[in-house]
């Protein structure tokens, strides 16, 4: 049976314990500053006792509850609603959210562990949890005022899915070319436009959405708004039929005179460009975690299969050529994991991590694609059919080079930071 895990070390808020699993076991876990300091000087992949317990719990959930649903969700292109509820019940949707707002009060690194472990089994659920934690919750925690945090963070931790709406048809890598407009009407804004490629679009009820409130000022007119699904003039449009991460909904959003109260401006008017950039810097580490999870899943499958597959009287894993390929895959995965973990630890330590986050996303997305592709080859013909898991890992890996900043944009960020231009 699954264990529910409560990331809070104490429940002094008076809200009572998080929901219990059928097994009735609630594990307590948090990443305090003391624990972070205890890790100083240790290898990056060495986890604290709390982190080990948390990772084991997420892995148990992924293997016991998620794995049996993966194939069906991929085929249908839809997350199982029961699984979404479990993610909330188990505390996975508010990992870094402070306890006073109903969350776990844990660390960014802990959220990264969750994304990695989930993506090892299904990258669709990995990104579902990732967007909630590294983009939406982080945006509220960093830029929300007290009233906004009090209103929305408890909902996001307990029952409502969030989405981050930045991209448009003509505004991808050139994010500040957005055409969605916000017109000041005194006590509210009217938003008009269309967003594309929005992860969690079908499931979300709370959107961090960007629009330009002063086009004459260029990107300095861009403003972040909190938009609820029930607001008049807001609707969810087409769901994309994708190559990979198929169970994760990717949709368009349509705004036609969408009325948004003034109190739903997130941060300052005209400072949305800053909100988007800084939030995405953190989100890229989350995508890195998704990619190393995919790579781990593919490598684990390849090692197991090559031990079972017999050719010329012995398992193909006994051939040196296969051993060398496995060794290459494992080495590349370890390098990617070190980069992702390092960027996450830097974020928690309050150290500038922008370059490291870009490098981690760039390298891990390439590693995931290469490792999953090799896994298909090691499976031979079986690797090319849906009866076996590795073709899905490859399909899921491809998005890593595209969303939350393409690989070319990561290269540009790294270069600018290196040469100072």
Distance CA 20, CA 17 (A): 8
- Strand ranges (E), 141-249: 161-165, 181-184, 188-199, 204-212, 222-228, 234-239
Q: Give the mean model confidence (pLDDT) for residues 93-118.
A: 97
**Low-confidence winner among 11-20, 71-80, 85-94, 359-368 (lowest mean pLDDT):** 11-20
> Residue 396 is encoded by which pair of tokens?
């899921």
How does pLDDT run across 344-403, given as a tens digit for each residue?
999 999 999 999 999 999 999 999 999 999 999 999 999 999 999 999 999 999 999 999
Q: What is the pLDDT of residue 44?
A: 86
The pTM for the full model equals 0.91
Residue 158 has pLDDT above 70, yes or no: yes
Residue 3 has pLDDT above 60, yes or no: no
Mean pLDDT, the chain, rounded, equals: 92
Using the 8-state DSSP alphabet, how is residue 384 labeled?
G
Query: What percentage of the chain reaches a pLDDT higher than 70?
Result: 90
Q: For residue 182, what are the β-bridge partners?
A: 191
Residue 2 has pLDDT above 50, yes or no: no
User: Looking at the annotation, which residues are catalytic?
Assistant: 404
Task: Give the H/E segment covering residue 256.
Answer: strand 250-261
Distance CA 224, CA 265 (A): 6
CB-based contact 27:5 (threshold 8 Å): yes
Residue 118 has pLDDT above 80, yes or no: yes
- What is the DSSP code string of 91-134? TTT-SSS-GGGTS----HHHHHHHHHHHHTT-HHHHHHHHIIII
Find, among 280, 279, 276, 289, the residue nearest to 363 by Cα.
289
Distance CA 248, CA 240 (A): 10
Strands 234-239 and 314-315: unpaired
> Residue 35 is encoded by which pair of tokens?
């624990």
Tokens 């991590």 belong to residue = 353
Using the 8-state DSSP alphabet, how is residue 39 labeled?
T
How does pLDDT run across 232-258, given as a tens digit for each residue?
999 999 999 999 999 999 999 999 999
């Amino acid at each position: 049976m699954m264990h529910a895990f409560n990331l809070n070390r104490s429940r002094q808020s008076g809200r009572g314990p998080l929901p219990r699993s059928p097994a009735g076991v609630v594990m307590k876990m948090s990443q305090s500053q003391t624990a972070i300091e205890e890790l100083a000087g240790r290898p990056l992949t060495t986890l604290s006792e709390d982190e080990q317990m948390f990772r084991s719990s997420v892995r148990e959930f992924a293997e016991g509850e998620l794995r049996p649903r993966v194939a069906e969700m991929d085929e249908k292109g839809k997350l199982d609603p029961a699984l979404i509820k479990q993610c909330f019940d188990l505390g996975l949707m508010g990992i870094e959210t402070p306890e006073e707002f109903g969350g776990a009060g844990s660390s960014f690194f802990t959220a990264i562990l969750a994304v990695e472990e989930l993506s090892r089994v299904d990258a669709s659920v990995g990104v579902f949890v990732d967007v909630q934690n590294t983009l939406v919750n982080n945006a509220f925690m960093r830029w929300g005022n007290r009233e906004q945090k009090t209103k929305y963070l408890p909902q996001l931790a307990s029952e409502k899915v969030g989405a981050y709406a930045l991209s448009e048809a003509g505004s991808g890598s050139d994010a500040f070319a957005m055409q969605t407009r916000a017109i000041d009407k005194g006590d509210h804004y009217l938003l008009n436009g269309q967003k594309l490629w929005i992860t969690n679009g079908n499931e979300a009820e709370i959107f961090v959405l960007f629009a330009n409130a002063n086009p004459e000022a260029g990107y300095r007119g861009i403003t972040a708004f909190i938009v609820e699904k029930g607001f008049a003039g807001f609707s969810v449009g087409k769901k994309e039929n994708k190559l990979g991460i198929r169970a994760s909904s990717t949709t368009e959003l349509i705004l036609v005179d969408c009325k948004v109260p003034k109190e739903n401006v997130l941060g300052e008017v005209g400072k949305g460009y800053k909100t988007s950039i800084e939030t995405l810097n953190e989100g890229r580490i989350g995508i890195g975690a998704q990619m190393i999870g995919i790579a781990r899943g593919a490598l684990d499958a390849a090692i197991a299969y090559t031990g079972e597959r017999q050719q010329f009287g012995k398992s193909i894993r006994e051939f040196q050529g296969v051993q060398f390929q496995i060794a290459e895959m494992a080495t590349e995965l370890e390098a990617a994991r070190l980069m992702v973990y390092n960027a996450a630890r830097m974020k928690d330590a309050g150290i500038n991590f922008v370059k490291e986050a870009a490098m981690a996303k760039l390298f891990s997305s390439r590693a995931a694609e290469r490792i999953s592709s090799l896994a298909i080859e090691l499976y031979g013909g079986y690797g090319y059919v849906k009866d076996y898991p590795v073709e899905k890992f490859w399909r899921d890996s491809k998005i890593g080079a595209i969303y939350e900043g393409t690989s070319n944009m990561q290269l540009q960020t790294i270069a600018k930071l290196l040469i100072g231009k």
